[in-house]
Structure 1
Amino acid sequence: MRFVTGLYRRFAHLVHEAAKFGAVGAVAYVVQLTTTNLLWSALDAPALVGQAVGTVVATLVAFAGNRYWTFGHRARTGLGREYVLFFIMNGVGLLIQLACLWAAVYGLGLDGPLARNIAGNVIGVGLGSLFRFWSYRTWVFPAGPRDPREPEEPGEQARQGA
């Protein structure tokens, strides 16, 4: 039991960030699914266009949630820098999604609504999200000195040995 407690204390900050990232991602995912499927069904948009537009709209929602809540305790490196890097990393995530969708629709010939959603919105979003979480933590919202006026992150005292 001591081992598990020690692991939790050591990785509590990562667990909390991942949970917040997942919550923000869930909201953005609903926005992305709704937008993408509306474009596909109501406007008969091509597969890749619907996926791209839906993801861009969701990215706008995700930026605010991730900057101010998920990674709000991390160093601030400037809104402009964070915004540009966030959209670049989301561009890479979008390319991952589009590659999965392209493989299903154009590579395997699976072009029904279910196939599009599984390829682009389940597999593509899943792989893209792994990349996004890692890249946000690494480049967009890097760890650094915290403003002493901000409240401590949960588990901070445990990591410092207090």
Structure 2
Amino acid sequence: MPPPRPTLVARLRGAWRTLVAEVAKFGTVGAVAFVLDTTLYNLLVFGLPGLVEGPMAGSPLLGKVVSTSVATLFSWTGNRWWTFRRRRSEAMGRELVLFLFFNAVGLGIALACLAFSRYVLGLDSQLADNVAANGIGLALGTLFRFWAYRTFVFREELAEEEREARRAAAQGLSARVR
């Protein structure tokens, strides 16, 4: 005799716990990537004040490209092997390309917020730029990236609880329709 199947509520609870765990891990990886990006950029461009000049002091845009690239690769690694480890596929190249694409879209969201603040609202102070790009833009971009990573990048091996919850919900709907 097969073991009893979990109830719909138990399966939904399992799916909820999976989502909460993924959000927490995603936030942790993102926070470390943010610190890595910011620290590396400042070291590359500004160096250690009073001790050594940054190797990219004359190239702040290139410094930002390098620091963001390192942080993005760290983020992909952390999300692939920790946050979404139950969802990753064997196609690492595909995942990486999608990950980089969705990171570029997330960057575009932050740039759009900055452009709106500067060119539509006319706010051009350092505080306004940081609120628009690193506050609002970062928050909206992060929400987008979490959804995109979960939906398109790390989607191959869905957690068993989620598959069961979807099946149970579909069966519940069809039973109600009859």
Note the C-alpha offset of 1:32. 3.3
Query: What is the identity percentage for the equivalent residue pairs of Structure 1 and Structure 2?
Result: 51
From 8, 14, 17, the equivalent of 1:12 is 17
How far, CA to CA, are the matches of 2:44 and 2:115 in structure 1?
17
1:134 aligns with 2:147: yes
Q: How does 1:34-53 map to 2 (within 5 A)?
A: 34=39, 53=65
The amino acid across from 1:24 in the alignment is V
How far, CA to CA, are the matches of 1:12 and 1:22 in structure 2?
15
Partner of 1:105: 118
State the TM-score, normalizing by the size of structure 1: 0.71
How far, CA to CA, are the matches of 2:140 and 2:114 in structure 1?
12
Note the C-alpha offset of 1:88. 0.6
How far, CA to CA, are the matches of 1:40 and 1:101 in structure 2?
22
- Aligned residue pairs total 148
Q: How does 1:1-162 map to 2 (within 5 A)?
A: 8-34=13-39, 53=65, 55-144=68-157
Contact kept? 1:33, 1:121, Cα under 8 Å: no
Partner of 2:171: none
How far, CA to CA, are the matches of 2:99 and 2:107 in structure 1?
12
The amino acid across from 1:104 in the alignment is S
Stretches of structure 1 lacking an aligned partner (at least 5 in a row):
147-152
How far, CA to CA, are the matches of 2:17 and 2:137 in structure 1?
28
Q: Which structure has the larger Rg over C-alpha atoms?
A: 2
- Residues 26-63 of structure 1: CA distance to partner in whole angstroms, max 9, x if unpaired? 111223344566789895878xx58x735444212211
Secondary structure of the 2:149 match is helix
The amino acid across from 1:28 in the alignment is A
- Residues 67-108 of structure 1: CA distance to partner in whole angstroms, max 9, x if unpaired? 111011224241100000000111111110110111223333
